[in-house]
Amino acid sequence: MGNQVYGLPPTADQLLEDLVRACAADLAGPTAGSVPSELRLDAPSGTRYAYALPTAGPPTRSVSAVLNDRRTIRDFAPGPLPAKVLGEVLKATLSQDRRMASGETEAGNGLTPVVVVRAATGIEPGVYEAGAAGNCLYWHGALSQEAWRLLFFQSQLESAPVLILMAGSPAAAWHRDAAQGYLRLVRRAGAAAYAGWLAALQQGYDGCLMGSTLPSPQLNEAAGFDPAGRRPLIALAIGLRVESPG
Ligand SMILES: Cc1cc2nc3c(=O)[nH]c(=O)nc-3n(C[C@H](O)[C@H](O)[C@H](O)COP(=O)(O)O)c2cc1C
């Protein structure tokens, strides 16, 4: 009924599809310069293959269902995140970016999910990078509890079992799209992280998006972050919500 009143597409899936198409058209900049090879967003040397992530099967909830009752969760229940849920979330982030910014990764202006695992089934805690298809993890290094805590402005978020940092290269984005490059990159990162959140919700998990995280020197070293060439743009905490009593 609401959709008829506002002239919106009849289903939530179609609405999302239309929104992605509109954003992709908006992001297709007129400049599209070339990115020097040394500025491409490669994983730091020393990164090694660590885990294949299993698939989770079809989502337990539809997009419309999760959009209707979605809310941000900042207090997470103890317990590990299943590796298959992490896999679905990572795949969703990367496939969203491929749809929204087609060809940008190949042009050297990619986004990469850096995954900080505190507790996930069968995965050693530490800092990882997702493979390009989102179905595996590459090991970067360990992260102390102190460095984990330093990431958050809000202490309750420390309870999240997993944090995904969508990283990109402002330098590459500048070469690609001049002054508009960084804004476009940040919008892509936001959309990718949001798609990851929806995927988590569809699997019955929860999350919180954060524009502001504070990488510590230890995380910067492990993940090879630097302010211009490879930096976190937005973060997504995922896990299970703490059930409210009663
Ligand atoms: C792009 C984006 C960035 C956000 N950044 C932060 C943040 O830095 N810190 C935070 O606590 N919440 C952040 N949020 C979460 C919003 O604050 C949250 O969505 C808001 O509280 C509304 O709650 P709701 O999602 O339950 O409707 C962000 C959300 C989005 C979409």
Q: Are strands 136-141 and 162-168 parallel, antiparallel or unpaired?
A: unpaired
Model confidence at 6, pLDDT cuts 50, 70, 90, reads low
Q: Are 111 and 120 in contact (CB under 8 A)?
A: no
What is the pLDDT, as a whole number, of residue 246?
55
Question: Which of 42-46, 58-62, 165-169 is predicted least confidently?
Answer: 42-46
Is the CB of 72 within 6 Å of ligand 1?
Answer: yes
What is the average pLDDT value for the chain, to the nearest integer? 90
Question: For position 231, what pLDDT does the model report?
Answer: 94
How many angstroms does the Cα of residue 54 sit away from the middle of ligand 1?
Answer: 29
Encode pLDDT of 175-199 as tens digits. 998 888 999 999 999 999 999 999 9
Q: For residue 136, what are the CA distances in angstroms to 8, 88, 130?
A: 37, 11, 6
The tally of CA atoms less than 13 A away on the side-chain side of residue 83 is 15
Q: What angle do CA 58, 121, 43 make, to 5 degrees?
A: 90
Q: Is 209 in the pocket of ligand 1 (CB under 6 A)?
A: yes
Residue 38 predicted with pLDDT over 50: yes
From CA 202, how far away is CA 246, in angstroms rounded?
A: 24
Q: Going from the N-terminus, what domains does the chain have, and what CATH number goes with each?
A: 9-29+44-239 (3.40.109.10)
Residue 57: pLDDT band with limits 50, 70, 90 = confident
Q: Which residue has the tokens 């309870």?
A: 159
Q: What is the pLDDT of residue 2?
A: 47
Taking residues 203-208, report their average pLDDT. Answer: 96
Q: Distance between alpha carbon 113 and the CA centroid of its chain, in Å? A: 6
Does the C-beta of 212 come closer than 6 Å to ligand 1? yes
210 lines ligand 1 (CB under 6 A): yes
